[in-house]
Structure 1
Amino acid sequence: MKIKILTRFLFIIFIFFLISSFSLFGSFQEGYELYKQGKYYDAEMVLLREKEISPNNVDIYAVLGWCYLNTGDYSKAIEISEDGLKLNSRDTRLLTTIGRSYMEMKRYPDALSYLQKSVSYNPNYAYSYYYIGRIYQSQGKLILAETALSAGIMLKKDNYLFYKYRAQVYEEMMNYKMAEEDYKRALTLKPNDPALKEALIKVISKQTELESTYQ
């Protein structure tokens, strides 16, 4: 009899924890879905509540960091990512979020420090190279910018922003032919972007003008 009662008790505890784990997972998924829908403040509320329940889930810190990035609260993005790094010091999402936050704050040495650390831990994370390229572009270090953006594109070929910014770098280098190719690639990924269309027209015009000077 005692064995049956104990077995039943353990079974109830097992079911309770199973339901709880599904509930927690669902809460994180709810926050993540809200983030993907661009509902950053709603996502923040859900994820902060989830963090209180499940403080060791690094994914929560990563998505919260992205929410703060998208709302322009770079100090909070850094703070929550630093908290996440206490759980996993090699998480490239967190390192890249901090790097990007410092980039937006124009604290380029700090940004590069975190982004280069991210690359050293995970050389296959495309966004680290992308933001490194953006920083070098801002500093006028065009060859380094082109190298970093090209590395990012090798890893991720489906993001129009990678091609857009490399096109800008080529344009600054007066390599209008390569810039034209990249603007066209960006437009295949985002065909209705008026800014990209305008940039393509301008760079074709510059290429035509350059060719005419050598005729």
Structure 2
Amino acid sequence: MQYSHDDENLSLTRFESMLKTNDILFFDSSEFENIIHHYLENGKIALSKRAIKLGLEQHPTSINLRLFQVEILVIENKFNEADEILDMLHDLEPTNEEIFIQKANVLSKQDEHKKAIDTLLIAIEMSSTPENDADLYALVGMEYLFLDQFDNAIIYFKKCLETDTTDYSALHNVIYCYDFLNKNEEAIEYLNTFLDKNPYCEVAWHQLGRQYFTIKEYGKANAAFDFAIISDDTFVGAYIEKGKVLEKLEKYEEAIENYKITLALEDPTSFALLRMGFCYDKLGQEDLAIQFLKKTIDEDPLLDRGWIAITKFYIKRFNYQKALYYINKAVTIDGDNVVYWKLYAKVNKRLNFLEEAERGYKRTLELGNYELETWLERADILTSLGEFDAACFNLIQASEFYPENAEIEYRLGGLYFTTHQIEEGRFHLKNAVNLNIDYSFIIAELFPNLNNKPMVKAIISESKRASN
């Protein structure tokens, strides 16, 4: 229970006591409103409905209690019933702006966003309090967002901020719209204007820094994040973003210092730990790098970037056994992560564990990663394992995604000649040399036994003569 006045706490206590004892106690309508608001804020819909029912029994003419009833009906998607009550209330109080706001809410929930906007604009015309106007402008902005009309949304979110400069949700939405429209310069111009009037708004400085970061103006981004930190020296997001900028400027020690501050301000975040690991790696401090990469996966075992980073750390140092240890753990945690399986296949291939490498590439394909390299790597491993039919089938599937591809055709040609399917071999090898003679080395590399086969030599040499 979070109420600012003791009597409101008392109302709630009395109401809950009444529910337990079945005694009927009297509450004035404002007490019922506070009780209902409390339950709605805490997601206790059933108790909200009880309070509304009892409230209307004691105050049947209360407009506000009826509006709470409408709110519940909207939550339950009972739009026709909500509309009926709103029409009745409009007849009683045609100038009550709250009725129009709820009507707009009903329309919005039914995807009637243009009608919702028109209704909110009526509410704005009726409004007599500027504080309410800010909320109404924000609601209109949201409706325009639903319609993907970003330019119109910007207009109304700006109107909201003109009325209430502390509505950071509206500020975020303005920048979101500019980002969606790829209007970084306009966003920067707006934020600078906003900051002229609100120089200690850490959220605006933070957003300005992010805009400069996007357009690679790292010096200006760094300055903006500094101002965000001056405005609020506990602003974790600003330290994180400043760290990212310093990495771009190759100032890794300073980046680490900023990430360290975030660890002191709140519980360690896997992102900060990961970035520190990368920074120490860039500085050549391998022991600290691996220490922080390990902390990253300890902190958040579901963060794929952590497992990928630690696996690549060991691959880079040719320590494939350690890389295999970590990527095995990763695929155990998340067996549907394509990047994990690609790394799994790569590491096993380097260790010459070909069956496991093939399994990795096969799983990658099953998960919808149809990159040409994946098909070719799997085919080459199957060929090495002597699984010629499976290799052929794999390449035929690949050719559906990459038709007329020389690398596929050379491999199919080689496989068909190897399995003594001469006509198919000749067909695909001729295709291959016509597509690109420069890839003819594939035959020598993958199928050395075919090097001296007269038909194979003739097809390749004839094509080379023709190209010269």
Q: TM-score, normalised by structure 2?
A: 0.36
Matched, 1:177 2:324: yes
The answer (yes or no) to whether the contact 1:149–1:162 under 8 Å persists in 2 is yes
Cα distance between partner residues in 2 of 1:67 and 1:157: 31
Q: 1:132, CA displacement in angstroms? A: 0.5
Query: What pairs with 1:49-88 in structure 2 (closer than 5 Å)?
Result: 49-88=193-232
Q: 1:142 aligns with which of 275, 286, 302?
A: 286
- Aligned residue identity for 1:176: A
Instruction: Give the secondary structure class of the aligned counterpart of 2:209.
Output: helix
- Aligned residue identity for 1:86: I
CA RMSD of superposed structures (Å): 3.4
Q: 1:19 to 1:89 in 2, by over 3 A?
A: same
Higher relative contact order (CA 8 A, sep 6+): 1
Matched, 1:114 2:258: yes
- Aligned residue identity for 1:177: L
Q: 1:198 to 1:89 in 2, by over 3 A?
A: same
Q: 1:163 to 1:48 in 2, by over 3 A?
A: farther
Alpha-carbon displacement from aligned partner over 1:132-179 (angstroms, at most 9, x marks no partner):
011112223333222212333344455433332222123237112134
Gaps of at least 5 residues in structure 2 are 1-125, 139-159, 162-166, 354-468
The answer (yes or no) to whether the contact 2:324–2:344 under 8 Å persists in 1 is no
Q: 1:81 to 1:206 in 2, by over 3 A?
A: same
The answer (yes or no) to whether the contact 1:85–1:91 under 8 Å persists in 2 is yes
Alignment length (residue pairs): 193
Q: 1:110, CA displacement in angstroms? A: 1.6
Cα distance between partner residues in 2 of 1:61 and 1:95: 12
Cα distance between partner residues in 2 of 1:81 and 1:99: 10
| Equivalent in the alignment of 1:206 | 350
Q: 1:19 aligns with which of 123, 129, 133?
A: 133
Q: 2:267 aligns with which of 100, 123, 126?
A: 123
Cα distance between partner residues in 2 of 1:14 and 1:144: 61
Instruction: Give the secondary structure class of the aligned counterpart of 1:208.
Output: coil
Gaps of at least 5 residues in structure 1 are 1-11, 210-215
Alpha-carbon displacement from aligned partner over 1:185-204 (angstroms, at most 9, x marks no partner):
78845x3x6xx765443222
Cα distance between partner residues in 1 of 2:334 and 2:210: 23
Alpha-carbon displacement from aligned partner over 1:99-135 (angstroms, at most 9, x marks no partner):
2211221112222222212222223333221210111
- Aligned residue identity for 1:15: T
Percent sequence identity over matched residues? 12
Alpha-carbon displacement from aligned partner over 1:68-104 (angstroms, at most 9, x marks no partner):
3333222122110001111111212111222221122
Q: TM-score, normalised by structure 1?
A: 0.71
Alpha-carbon displacement from aligned partner over 1:12-49 (angstroms, at most 9, x marks no partner):
998213424751232432314554x5947154445444
Instruction: Give the secondary structure class of the aligned counterpart of 2:293.
Output: helix
